[in-house]
Structure 1
Amino acid sequence: MNRLEFPYRLYLVTNQEACLGRDLVKVTEEAVKGGVDLVQLREKNLDDKQFLVKALQLKEMLNQYNVPLIINDNLWVAQQCYAEGIHVGNNDMPPHQIRHRWNDVGILGYSIEYEKQLALPDAELSDYLALSPVFATPTKNDTVTEWKLEGVSHIRQLTTKPLVAIGAINLQNATSVIQAGANCLAVVSAICSASKPALAAEALRNQIEKALI
């Protein structure tokens, strides 16, 4: 999958904690109404059965809007809920193992935390690469590189793979990150923790579309 084949622009990464006590499915639905077109469920503090329950609830809602569900780092949950895909990081099951164990995985994402990962077969086996984080963020404190705009531009020159930018993305920097070479912006708190998730998503989506003109 090359840059031109990646149709997604606004990617919501969500979990119960990020929704600040509100219903995760309702918050996500509002975000979808505002312009989110890809959703990842990332639940690091739930056991597999609890994770699956959340995933099934989310999948049922997202199916109504034809928005794909990506599961973070849990192959069993991803397969059990018939998710469209899975996203893995540097310390998770690698993409080559995902491909081996899930032949018909629809979307396989892989986090890039340092440049030399681009040379690994796992990067080539992935459908998109997530630059994590573009800007340092408290929602993810185990990262290696803060890419910043210069890093996004540099990686854009090195690969034709779709690039998803994540890490402290907001209205103030969204345009610059897209112009630096990202195909898609992934956000957590900028939407999940907003008082009006639909309006927050709409504002971000508008910035993305303007930057792509």
Structure 2
Amino acid sequence: MNADLSLYLVTDAGIAAAAGHDIVDVVRQATANGVTAVQLREKDASARHFLDTVTRVSDVLPEGVALLVNDRVDVFLAARQAGVRVSGVHVGQTDLPPGAVRALIGDDAILGLSAATPEQLAAASGGDAVDYVGIGALHATATKRDAPPPLGHERFARLVAASALPAVAIGGVSAADLGPLRRAGAAGAAVVSAICGAGDPADAARMLRAAWDAA
């Protein structure tokens, strides 16, 4: 996997809209100020709307910033077929099995998997399908309806140590968490509200970037 996951934005168009932002503009500002990977999460969007969002976001991404599609392998495939610069897919435990996703997206695409237990981490690293894991929820979060109970830093550190794959923390992550997460061995930190819901997404991204880099 050739991707920098250190500051990883997971989008929420509803949170962005409530803060007065268009999600494409949030991504543009965030990636210009330190975000290195973007996962588009559109749980309630139609396939066509999701594809349009992927296309518009891809158009504003700097070179080298990974763009991943949450859950919807079909949307990823359609975007790639249309020539959109898209990097891969992130799936959860109840989505298509990672082996099946890998067979659909090919060897060159990035595949991430959400995990929250030692058993899930062991299964993720048991083959060569998954490139990285998203471990959470670190803290209680309202941005994901089916989020598991919060882990806290101590349990997160134990799970990172047990993971054979690069691990990204997610779930209520703020700038104050980035130092402990990096010292625990995380490959990166995923944020949603900290950027999508910020008054100034560019400034929020700069602060998060500085906190990670200083750790």
Fold-level similarity (TM above 0.5): yes
- Which stretch shifts more, 6-15 or 164-173? 6-15
Residue 12 in structure 1 maps to residue 9 in structure 2:
yes
Residue 190 in structure 1 maps to residue 194 in structure 2:
yes
Candidates 104, 109, 112, aligned match of 1:109: 112
Candidates 66, 81, 101, aligned match of 1:68: 66
Q: What is the alpha-carbon distance in structure 2 between the residues aligned to residue 136 and residue 34 of structure 1?
A: 26
Q: What is the alpha-carbon distance in structure 1 between the residues aligned to residue 46 and residue 102 of structure 2?
A: 24
Shift, 1:15, TM fit? 2.8
The letter of the residue matching 1:164 is V
DSSP-derived class of the 2:32 partner:
helix
Candidates 166, 181, 186, aligned match of 2:185: 181
**What is the percent sequence identity of the aligned residues?**
36
Residue 33 in structure 1 maps to residue 32 in structure 2:
yes
Partner of 2:79: 81
Seen in structure 2, the aligned counterparts of structure 1 residues 123 and 25 have a Cα distance that, compared at 3 Å, is farther
The alignment's C-alpha RMSD in Å is: 1.7
For structure 2, list consecutive stretches of 5 or more residues without a partner in the other structure: 81-85
Q: What is the alpha-carbon distance in structure 2 between the residues aligned to residue 149 and residue 71 of structure 1?
A: 27
Partner deviation per Cα, 1:58-104 (whole Å, 9 max, x = no partner): 11111x44312100000111111122000000111121110112213
Seen in structure 2, the aligned counterparts of structure 1 residues 75 and 19 have a Cα distance that, compared at 3 Å, is same
Structure-1-length-normalised TM-score: 0.90
For structure 1, list consecutive stretches of 5 or more residues without a partner in the other structure: none
Shift, 1:199, TM fit? 0.9
Q: How many residues align?
A: 207
- Which stretch shifts more, 143-152 or 8-17? 143-152
